[in-house]
Each structure stands twice: as C-alpha cells, then as structure tokens.
Amino acid sequence: MRMSRLFLRTLRDDPAGADIASHRLLLRAGCIRQVASGMYAWLPVGQRVLAKVAQIVREEMDAAGAQEMTLPITQPLELWERSGRNDDYGPLMFRLEDRKQVKFCLSPTAEEVITTIVAGELKSYRDLPVNLYQINWKYRDELRPRFGLLRAREFLMKDAYSFHVDVDDLRRTYQDMFDAYSRVFTRCALTFRAVEGESGEIGGDINHEFMAMAEIGEDDIVWCQKCDYAANAEVARRKSEQHDGGSADAELEKVHTPGMPGIMAVAQHLGTPEGELLKCIAFHLDDGVGLALLPGDRELNEAALRKAVAPRTARLFEDDDFAAHPGLVKGYIGPDATGVALVIADPLVSAPHAWVTGANEKDHHVRNAALGRDFSVAEWADLVAVVPGDPCPSCGSPLSIDRGIEVGQVFQLGTKYAEAMGALYTDEDSEQHPMVMGCYGIGISRIVTAVVEEHHDELGIAWPSALAPYDVHLVAITGKGKATGEVSEAADKLYDELTAAGVSVLYDDRDASPGVKFADADLLGMPTRLTLGAKGVARGVVERRNRKTGADDELPLDGAAEALRG
C-alpha cells in the first residue's frame, strides 16, 4: 500500500484525554478514532491488526474443534428475562424497542440466544458434544468508559459455547479451550498468566481468566513464585489456620476515644498495633443484618464476602443504612452488637490475643475483647484481601501481586442456562437431562490494547510480526535534483518485487521530509523498515532497521525481496 493513497493521518501530539500508552499511540498512529464515548471506528491500519488477531483466534478455535457461526447482535429481551440476567446486568445493558414496542437488547454476551438455538436443533445424547463460536461486536453501557479500547462500550469479542452430556465431557472441552487460549496469546506475543477468576454476571463455579501482564491493568493478580498458584485478587486465597481465640484473663475495659471512628486514630491513641484492632463491618443480608470481622490492618474482600454468604446476597452498609439502624454506631461497632443476624469472621480473628474493638457507643471502644467470652462467631470464611507476603494456599510460600489486563476467560457453566432455556437431551434410556455447558470468551479488541501496552517505546508502537499491519515499511528518500527520479524508480521496483514475493509493504512514497517519514515509521511500528536513498541506489543496497531492537544492516537491492520473504 502506498502511503500517498492510504486513508491515514498520524498525529504528532498526544490527544487530550488519552491517559494510557495504548490509547495515545493507537490514536496517534491513525489506527482508531473516537466516534462517541467508549465507541471507536477502526481505520484501515488498525483494521488490519484487528483482522490478524481475529484470524489467529479463528485458526486456534477451528483446530480445537469449535465451529464458527454468527448470532444477531440485537436479541429479544424476553430471553434475558427467562434466564434472570436482565436484572443482573441492570444499567450495563443497552435496551431498545422496535416499532411494535417489542423489547430487545444489544448483546453483551450470547448464552441465552445460543442455548435457545441449540435447544431447538439437538435432542439426543448422540448429538453431543458440540462447540460453537462467533466473532462479533458486543455492547455494555459502561458508566465511565476509559482507557480507550480497554473499557469501551463497544468491543469485538470471540465467544464460544459448548454443550455436553455430563461434567466429565465438559472438562475435556474446557481443557481444550484452555490450551487453545494459551496458544492464541503466545502467538500474539503477550506475556500472560492464567489465573482463577471471578464469574461475575456469567455464572459458573469453575473459571479461569487469562491476564496480559501490564502496569495499567484493571485487575490485581495474586501469584506464587514457587508453585503454579495464581488467581484474580477478588478470588485469591491465602493459607490460613484456625486458633482457639485470645486469652480471656484480662477484664473487658471501656475506653474513651472521642472523634476516633477510624482504625489508625484509635491505634495511635491507645498505643495498640492496628492488627490488634477488630474491624466490624456491617452489611445487609436477605434476612437481616450481618457483621464481617477482620483485623484492623486488613481490608475486606467484598467478593469473598458475597461468596461466603451465598446463596444469600450481601451489600455493605451506606450512610442511609446506619441512619435506619441506630443500634449500629458507625465507626464504633462491636462484634456483640444487638440486632445482628449473622457474625462471620476471617480465620485471622481467631488469633491468640484479645482485641480492641468498638463499644457500640459513640466515642468509645473496649480493650481485651476475647473470642468465646465477649463475642462469638457463627461462620468462618476467608474474608480479607490478600496482600504481598501472605502464604500461598498451595505451598505456603510468600505470594506476589502484579497487575494485568483480562484478555480472555473460560467458564464451566453447568446447567444454569440449559435449565432456564429448556436445552434438554434424551439419554440411552429415553430420559431427559439438561445439557451441561461451558463458555469461552476472548477480547479481540482488548488484545490489541494489551499488545500495544507491552510492545511500545518512546517513539511509538513496535508491533510483533504476527500482528503488524504490514511486514515492511519502505521509506524512499528521494532528495532533490537528478537523483530523485532514480530513487523513485528503484523504490517502485523494490515495492513491486516485495509485493510479488508475498511480503506486505507500506510504501512511503509521499512528498515529505525524511524527518517526517522516519517519525511516522517509528510511530506506526512495522517490524522492518527499509530506507532507500540516492547513496544506496548508487551502491546497490537498501538500509534495513529492526524496529524492536534498533539494529541496522544493509541488503543488496537485487536480493532484498528474497531475503525478506524467508
């Protein structure tokens, strides 16, 4: 492609509002343009990258036995009401009505539609298993779209859905998909880690997230350097021990702590380590009020709390809730507060020491509160957020925490959607059972963001070869005077030879200065830059630069196409 004909305008300066490297560089390189908040047009250069990612995904899905199809983006809302997810997604879902006032939504995912289709087509155990996928646009009405493609309202996704007769069969396909995903991200040149994940609105008991390592990632990844344990921080665990509780020798003592509803202030006032203060966090349960207990130097993992009280639902108290429950004094709640239906605690609360905790009275705390004497716990569960240095649940070694971008996730769904949508199969004994399902998503457009975050420098993008819009960026430095025509003729000939040899070339044939051409070549980031000027033509050579390493060498003009094809 000649740059003089390419629909491309690069930007010299960083666009306003582009806060991360990938967003800045994709805009500056003319790969994308914002159309609305969280919605982007993919321009020709960016479209080539997007298509290459999609093709890698397609090849690996096909090799793993999945079959491609296309589902409608606009879906009947009635299907989502049947599954119960219309309420689960809430304002995240785009909803609309047709002229007959029939309700629809823009697909954020497609479990309901694909399950309904399979239910109408497959009836026997002989028809299973089957694994179906699509590469299609998805929509989520993010409250605050940010970071360009990373948190967008429209995104390209590969979503696959498998149907099975039992869990053992599902696990085989799940492993096939897990392995295929690993190959996809390896081919895309991403440094990634597969971690235990949170199921979110999708559901399912077992799932893994594939995280591309990046400082700007939205998720914390907890991992062990000594074994293969890794998990999203929301579901990460640490090795914990249950003790009998603290000594009850010292008497309970009320102390005056005026204007000190926070852990730090009370600890300083009483000269007590923060880890020996007891946090009592109030939350709503379906059937009353609960308290979550944990040491004062640790933070609550809300996802862990929700999981611990399931199938009941939990919601942390807000200011209005405290006003409605005057017996729970904000900042001064004790574990023995009245009117509490459930007290649940992290095993750290069983430590062999007494606690400083709220006295259930404004401006007062108590010392020497002992588990078993002064308060009791109904349920124990891992509730604290894991921090670096916590012991690994598998081997006990210290855990580390890094950040990552989620680029894929695989789920073992079970029969949730099959039961809701009536996807049943008949077994050998003519008995009907719900199909067992798995689902598997890859963020195609998210991969582009993750790749740029990992593969860039101060000059611009440095595309991995597998995803580069073009293999070669040919720059003609025509200069002025008599040599201009000779350089143009030699560059045209080289361009034709490279193209004929199957090398994709972006040819900068513009009437622009060398500085502008070199800056654009660095920004656009093709793996190889070829520079041809008057001196090179005279010597019969072309200069080659490796974009990633910056290494330079020369190729003979006559053999350049063959050398680059190999």
pLDDT digits (tens, 9 = 90+) for 116-155: 999 999 999 999 999 999 999 999 999 889 899 999 999 9
List, in order, residues 6 or more apart from 134 with CB less than 8 Å away.
68, 69, 70, 71, 110, 158, 159, 160
**What Rg, from alpha-carbon coordinates, does the chain have?**
30
Joined tokens for residue 366: 């108590």
How many domains does one find in the chain?
3
- Check residue 250 and give its pLDDT: 87
CATH at residue 206: 3.30.930.10
Place of tokens 């539609």: 113
pLDDT at 272 over 90: yes
Query: 209 in a domain, yes or no?
Result: yes
Asked whether residue 142 falls in the same domain as residue 94, the answer is yes
Asked whether residue 145 falls in the same domain as residue 277, the answer is no
Instruction: Tell me the backbone φ, ψ of residue 121, rounded to 5 degrees.
Output: -110, -35
Cis peptide before 311 (omega within 30 of 0): yes
Instruction: Tell me the backbone φ, ψ of residue 404, rounded to 5 degrees.
Output: -150, 160
How sure is the predictor about 196, in pLDDT bands with cuts at 50, 70 and 90?
confident
Query: 394 in a domain, yes or no?
Result: no
Asked whether residue 61 falls in the same domain as residue 178, the answer is yes
**Angstrom distance (rounded) from CA 338 to CA 283:** 14
**Residues of the domain holding 374:** 253-380
β pairing state of 103-106 and 95-97: antiparallel
pLDDT tens per residue, range 321-363: 998 898 899 999 999 999 999 999 999 999 989 999 999 999 9
How large is the average pLDDT for residues 226-232? 90
Asked whether residue 282 falls in the same domain as residue 425, the answer is no
**Angstrom distance (rounded) from CA 391 to CA 388:** 9
**Angstrom distance (rounded) from CA 92 to CA 77:** 14
**What pTM did the predictor assign?**
0.88
How large is the average pLDDT for residues 97-114? 96
Asked whether residue 39 falls in the same domain as residue 177, the answer is yes
CATH at residue 288: 3.90.960.10
How sure is the predictor about 225, in pLDDT bands with cuts at 50, 70 and 90?
confident
**Angstrom distance (rounded) from CA 379 to CA 313:** 15
Joined tokens for residue 362: 């404004």
Helix (H) or strand (E) holding 445: helix 444-454
pLDDT at 241 over 80: yes
- Check residue 565 and give its pLDDT: 81
**Angstrom distance (rounded) from CA 238 to CA 507:** 55
Helix (H) or strand (E) holding 247: none
Query: 434 in a domain, yes or no?
Result: yes
pLDDT tens per residue, range 482-526: 668 899 999 999 999 999 999 999 999 999 999 999 999 999 999
Query: 465 in a domain, yes or no?
Result: no
Joined tokens for residue 560: 């350049």
346 residue type, one letter: D
Of 307, 186, 465, give the one whose Cα is nearest residue 194: 186
**Angstrom distance (rounded) from CA 454 to CA 189:** 9
Asked whether residue 359 falls in the same domain as residue 262, the answer is yes
Of 330, 337, 350, 332, give the one whose Cα is nearest residue 289: 337
Burial 520-538 (b: 16+ CB within 10 A, else e): bbbbbbbbbbbbbbbebbe
Place of tokens 């209005």: 320
How sure is the predictor about 164, in pLDDT bands with cuts at 50, 70 and 90?
very high
List, in order, residues 6 or more apart from 249 with CB less than 8 Å away.
none
List, in order, residues 6 or more apart from 213 with CB less than 8 Å away.
191, 192, 193, 221, 402, 403, 404, 454
Q: Are 215 and 403 in contact (CB under 8 A)?
A: yes
Query: 198 in a domain, yes or no?
Result: yes
CATH at residue 485: 3.40.50.800
Instruction: Tell me the backbone φ, ψ of residue 303, rounded to 5 degrees.
Output: -65, -40
Looking at residue 227, the DSSP 8-state letter turns out to be S
Helix (H) or strand (E) holding 118: helix 111-121
